[in-house]
Amino acid sequence: MLWVALRFPCLALEALSRGRALPESERMPRAVADAGRVIACDLQAETLGVRPEMGLTAAWAFAPQLSILPYSQASERAALAGIAAWMCPFTPRVPLQPPQGILAEIEGSLRLFRGAAALLERISAGVDQMGFTVTPAMAPTARGAWWLASAGREALVPDRVALDAALAALSRRTRARLDEHAARWAELLDSQLAPDNEEYHTGLVCVAVPIRDTRGRACAAIAVHAPLSRMPLEHALAHLPALSRAAQAMASTFD
């Protein structure tokens, strides 16, 4: 099979204008915010230093003229559903990946649309014409395509060998092989903790512990993470006792 993943990093903002940008002369930097934090921002705001997850006070410090729009989950979902409907002439298999993505299984459409590269270009151009910012990726597995798109990598990966190499390049420590994942799962189950030593993002470390329900099943997790420059993994591991106490305290509130 061959899958296309489409990730829309600015969907929360672009959905509010139905994918249509204002003329440049009328635009101020814009962002969508919820609970006092930026969810998405336009290029103008990003150029001024605004970033997703930034608090509004900090965002306004970087961009005093920043226009804030309230987040609308309904608008975001409607936009995603509309894009998925537009994809249906290419393939009937278009599962949503909310809140920012779509997957499409396009193996059967390659001959009709003259190959993978031409089809990916046509999809990307169509989404761009609708006014949505998109990161497209094509790979032989749905998960692989989604990981590439989520990492901001526009890619056309034709086979599993190339996919292993492409995923490994996302981080020098990323585990891209299934056998590596199986071994890793065994380690995690045995240790009851989940360290991330730059496996998801280069320069970011994390340690997590499970929160268990009354039946002993892991139902959530609590974690500490930080840039490697501020907290090496061994320092993150020093927080394990506090994380475990917090997890136990949260679990004790379950009925």
Domains, the chain: 1-170 (3.40.1170.60), 178-251 (3.30.450.40)
- Going by pLDDT thresholds of 50, 70 and 90, the confidence category of residue 218 is confident
Distance CA 24, CA 217 (A): 53
Q: What's the confidence (pLDDT) of residue 6?
A: 94
Please check the confidence at residue 20 and state whether its pLDDT lies above 60.
no
Per the CB < 8 A criterion, the answer to whether 247 and 213 are in contact is no
Q: What's the confidence (pLDDT) of residue 25?
A: 47
Please check the confidence at residue 22 and state whether its pLDDT lies above 60.
no
pLDDT, average across residues 237-246: 90
Distance CA 173, CA 198 (A): 6
Least confident of 127-141, 173-187, 236-250: 173-187
Helix and strand numbers, DSSP H then E, in the chain: 10, 11
Using a pLDDT cut of 70, give the percent of the chain over it. 88
pLDDT, average across residues 3-30: 77
